[in-house]
């Protein structure tokens, strides 16, 4: 049971929570650590970040710093701007058909999609917001094309920073910021614990979306001994039929289905293959980065049954995020109490 009393702490000499009846006197309080959230990449699975934040807020766990990568930058940026409820409404409104309607094909640039429709959705709520003026310290991670530099976006236009952080190579067109062309930050730092600490977090809670059984690679010594092809089950067939019916009216949507879906024999389209390769890569990078700079608390939601393109499953993902955060509450309380004792 999570029974930690945050009122026993104060920050920078001022209580962050109003003292109610029975609250300990000010001289008995200890300065609480600055708490940071590192929200990892993971495409559609990132909707679970919404549930994590909702659960922490419901349990009155304060958040002072947020570092986000890719979809983590989307959710983290909206939270820092006070727009989490609007993002939740958008996520829950998505259906398969609407997801495809937001994908604007563009084969003239450096990505399959221009990202204009998604940009418009972000701008509707966040246009004109500057990162340095947000009520919560926020930063996003991106990757510089060519040089491979890890770029930390901690000031300037919030929408541009978020878009640069999720610009997956080959899928979305890159963004130019400060004379640098930027791609998805998951190529260098999928769960940005280091950025969180650099922005002043003393206790870091990281949320990893890809570290599950789906990408725990093993050696297959004899591929010839494996079945070449498995028959899809009835659930898969039913989903495919429903999606076909939803997309039948639009030639553009059929093209997207070919690129992001799979053929009858299971072979992935080019975009699906790129997404899978990208997710395997970011999983390996995340393991290495987290081993080198581990967070104080790691939240790993149980998301292996959720596809990286299942943006229409927000209801389920938000619930799973809340459950994952709930399981970690005692760990957060224990680490915060120890940190408070060391810093008191």
The residues annotated as belonging to the active site are: 70, 184
- Cβ atoms 61, 45 nearer than 8 A: no
Determine which helix (DSSP H) or strand (DSSP E) holds 112, and give its type and residue range: strand 111-113
Task: Write out the H or E segment, with its range, that includes residue 300.
Answer: strand 297-300
**b or e along 287-304 (b: 16 or more beta carbons within 10 Å of the residue's beta carbon)?**
bebbeebebbbbbbbebe
């Amino acid at each position: 049971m999570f029974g930690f009393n945050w009122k026993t702490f104060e920050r920078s000499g001022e209580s962050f929570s109003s003292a109610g009846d029975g609250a300990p006197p000010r001289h008995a309080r200890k300065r609480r650590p600055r708490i940071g959230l590192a929200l990892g990449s993971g495409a559609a699975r990132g909707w679970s970040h919404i549930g994590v934040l909702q659960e922490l807020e419901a349990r009155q766990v304060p958040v002072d710093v947020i570092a986000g990568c890719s979809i983590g930058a989307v959710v983290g940026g909206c939270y820092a701007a006070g727009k989490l409820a609007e993002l939740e409404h958008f996520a829950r409104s998505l259906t398969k058909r609407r997801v495809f309607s937001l994908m604007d094909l563009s084969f003239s640039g450096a990505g399959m999609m221009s990202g204009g429709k998604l940009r418009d959705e972000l701008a509707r709520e966040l246009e004109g917001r500057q990162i340095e003026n947000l009520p919560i310290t926020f930063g996003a991670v991106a990757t510089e094309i060519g040089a491979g530099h890890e770029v930390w976006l901690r000031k300037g236009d919030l929408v541009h920073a978020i878009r640069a952080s999720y610009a997956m190579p080959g899928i979305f067109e890159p963004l130019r910021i400060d004379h640098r062309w930027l791609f998805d930050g998951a190529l260098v730092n999928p769960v940005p614990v280091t950025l969180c600490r650099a922005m002043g977090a003393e206790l870091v809670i990281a949320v990893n979306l890809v570290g599950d059984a789906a990408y725990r690679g093993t050696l297959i010594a004899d591929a010839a001994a494996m079945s070449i092809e498995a028959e899809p089950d009835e659930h898969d067939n039913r989903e495919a039929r429903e999606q076909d019916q939803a997309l039948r009216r639009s030639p553009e949507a059929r093209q997207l289905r070919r690129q992001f879906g799979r053929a009858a024999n299971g072979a992935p389209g080019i975009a699906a293959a790129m997404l899978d390769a990208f997710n395997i890569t970011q999983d390996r990078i995340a393991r290495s980065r987290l081993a080198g700079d581990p967070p104080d608390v790691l939240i790993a939601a149980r998301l292996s049954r959720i596809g990286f393109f299942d943006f229409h499953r927000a209801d389920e993902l938000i619930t799973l995020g809340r459950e994952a955060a709930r399981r970690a509450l005692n760990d957060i309380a224990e680490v915060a109490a120890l940190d408070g004792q060391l810093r008191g």
